[in-house]
Amino acid sequence: MNKRNASLPRRGFLLGLTAVGASVGLAGCGFELRKAPVFAFKTLSVEGNSALINQIRRDLRAAGTVTLVPKEDAKTADAVLVVLGEDRDRFVISTNSAGALRELQLRLRVRFSLKTPGGKELLAASEVSQTRDLSFNETNALAKEGEAELLFRDMQSDIAQQLMRRLAAVKEL
């Protein structure tokens, strides 16, 4: 009998045993995949119409635990999310010896609050911000402008996720 073929069942058994051991070890340490957020409200109205607000609406629909109510029917919603402001800023971080731009910092700030239709504040006016650094080269100015837009979209997505976590932190209406 060939020794290589005889060791295959043993190798499969050891591999299976290792996989089971790793699963038990991860479960024992409290590791758990992120689940859909659980919100204190069942219906939510999101006021406004920007790319960020549309991203928040998509994330809420994907979570599947909240029904979105149109702005016109906000009085029937359990809660109303109001985006008070959204600011995109660019700051010069560094310049070269000739004074030409070398590095930028991009910042996206979002101010929001969560209230009941009756006016009770569930989340007081808060601000969430993200920053990214961007090196700049005059010869590739158009490409760097496109990269800046991608970075702003990335920050927008991150802020939408942060808002989802903050909304899930509200435990009672």
Statement to judge: residues 20 and 64 lie in one domain: no
pLDDT of residue 71: 85
Statement to judge: residues 56 and 2 lie in one domain: no
**Tally of structural domains, the chain:** 2
Rounded Cα gap, residues 59 and 57, in angstroms = 5
Going residue by residue through the chain, which has 173 residues, state the pLDDT in tens, using 9 for 90 and above. Answer: 555 555 667 777 878 878 777 777 766 677 677 677 788 889 999 988 889 999 999 999 988 888 898 888 888 989 999 999 999 999 988 888 888 888 999 999 999 999 999 889 999 999 999 999 988 888 888 888 889 899 999 999 999 999 999 998 888 87
Statement to judge: residues 50 and 125 lie in one domain: yes
Statement to judge: residues 45 and 25 lie in one domain: no
Q: Which amino acid is at 141?
A: A
pTM, two decimal places:
0.75
Statement to judge: residues 89 and 104 lie in one domain: yes
Length of the chain: 173
Residue 43: which CATH number? 3.30.160.150
Question: Which residues face 105 on adjacent strands?
Answer: 91, 133
Statement to judge: residues 44 and 4 lie in one domain: no
Reference 136, options 152, 147, 123; nearest CA is 147
Rounded Cα gap, residues 69 and 11, in angstroms = 56
Question: Domain containing 12: what range?
Answer: 1-33
pLDDT of residue 8: 60
